[in-house]
Amino acid sequence: MAPAATVPAVDLPRSFSIRESSHRVLNPFTPEKLATLGAALRLPPGTRVLDLACGKGELLCTWARDHGVTGVGVDISTAFLDAARARAAELRVADLVGFVHADATGYVPDEPVDVAACLGATWIGGGTAGTVELLERGLRPGGTVLVGERYWRQHPPDQEAVEGSYARDVGDLASLPELVEGFGDRGWDLVEMVLADQDSWDRYVAAQWLNIRRFLDAHPDDELAGELRAELSSAPLRHVRYQREYVGWGVFALMRR
């Protein structure tokens, strides 16, 4: 049963719901890769999972269906949580998973969990290291942390490529070896990983363009129309020129040494 909600004072901007209206997985991970990760972890039925910044709850819902896990997802977006609850009902796992409207920053469950996850929202802990520390607070001894994070696939040649990849500075992201080395330096064993590829990025990002276009066609006078039109005009080229070439993304399973 989900703990009582700690209702945050703010919600995600409406543009997020528009941009990702057709998505079930809210990061550059295809449903197949999410399923691969769940199978790779070999989770026994009854595994307790906490998913911080859970989005539409696809991890919890599909893993409850496929592996019998139980758990709680936490997110600040009411629209995403509505979708998560609907998905749980659709997959008939609403008795196994619950969702809490709360700020995932600093959220710790009442009871320790077997798996604590944050896939692609490491801003909740101020970066990779801080998010892993946050997840560990709710983890039972011997449990597993799952963290989804970006990294440089290739070293960007200049500041234009850095900013085109949605980073402020080259130091905002590590290379994949640097990221893995950092886990070890902080006392964690990397025990599994599933990495996105360029097609994963395309499926995530390109679907946003169609969502935006259909919204603009249906709501040409919406207050967000100008902002979203500007995004649609620039985002495809930015993606193929920079993000697709230079940025990787993956989920890393960690266990404390």
pLDDT value of position 201: 96
Q: Residue type for 26, please?
A: L
> What is the pTM for the complete model shown?
0.93
The pLDDT confidence band at residue 5, using thresholds 50, 70 and 90, is: very low
The pLDDT confidence band at residue 1, using thresholds 50, 70 and 90, is: very low
Report the DSSP beta bridge partners of residue 250. 149, 195
The span from the CA of 257 to the CA of 254, in Å, is 9
| Long-range own/partner contacts, residues 84-89 (CB < 8 A, 24 or more apart) | 84/54, 84/55, 84/56, 84/57, 84/58, 84/60, 85/57, 87/24, 87/56, 87/57, 87/58, 87/61, 88/57, 88/60, 88/61, 88/64
What confidence tens digit (pLDDT) does each residue in 194-237 have?
Answer: 999 999 999 999 999 999 999 999 999 999 999 999 999 999 99
pLDDT value of position 42: 96
Query: Domains in the chain, please, with CATH?
Result: 14-256 (3.40.50.150)
Q: Locate 198 and state its tokens.
A: 């360029």
